[in-house]
Homo-oligomer: A and B are copies of this chain.
Amino acid sequence: MRSRQTRTAVLGALSIQPMTGYAMREAIRTTLGHFWSESFGQIYPTLAELEQEGLVERGEGTRTGSSTFALTPAGRAHLRTLLADPPQPDPPRNGVLLRLFFGRVLGPEACADLVRDARDRAERQLAGLAAERTDTDHTAHADDSPYWLLTISAGEHAARATIAWADETLATLATLAAEGHGGEPPTSSKETP
């Protein structure tokens, strides 16, 4: 059985409106992008499974060979069950922190570059979320939008936290660099001088 969380995302997307597999990927990428991701490799097999189980219905698409999927009543009931399941924790993987942890090998300046990049990304995300926030306010789905705004708010809190941490960290790294904890000698110098 495919992961329950992917099924949740797929059924949830169809609970907003019927759509094709490709459209679903786009919707997930643009709207859920800051906290979720699915790839074709999951979406299509999952839709096929759900069709087998009678939880979604396949309809004609606009193009030959394409299909639009819609939620059946059974599918809607199943979605409620899935949403009530406890969330599965996903293993964290933060490439910036991994590099920073071994920062002594890399040196303070390179670490600072890394942190500045992360800060920039957070700023851009904050701007993107602000745009989404106004979009959501102007869009029709009045019953859903309060919940959508909660997820946007989560992204904003996280981004602001990243920015605050980055500023603190840059200050710390500056003093580290000044004190001459300059990391390991660069490759030009010998191991045994």
Contacts and interface: CB of A to CB of B under 8 A. Distances in A.
B100 A151 contact: yes
B105 A80 contact: yes
Secondary structure at chain A's binding surface: helix, strand, loop or mixed? helix
Contacts of A32: 98, 101
Contacts of A191: 73
Contacts of A150: 100, 103, 169, 172-173
Most-contacted residue by chain B among A90, A101, A110, A169 (CB, 10 A): A101
Interface residues of A, number: 68
B102 A95 contact: no
Interface of A: 5, 8-9, 12, 15, 32-37, 73, 76-77, 79-80, 83-84, 86-106, 110-111, 114, 117, 143-144, 146-148, 150-151, 153-154, 157-158, 160-162, 164-165, 168-169, 172-173, 176, 181, 184, 187, 191
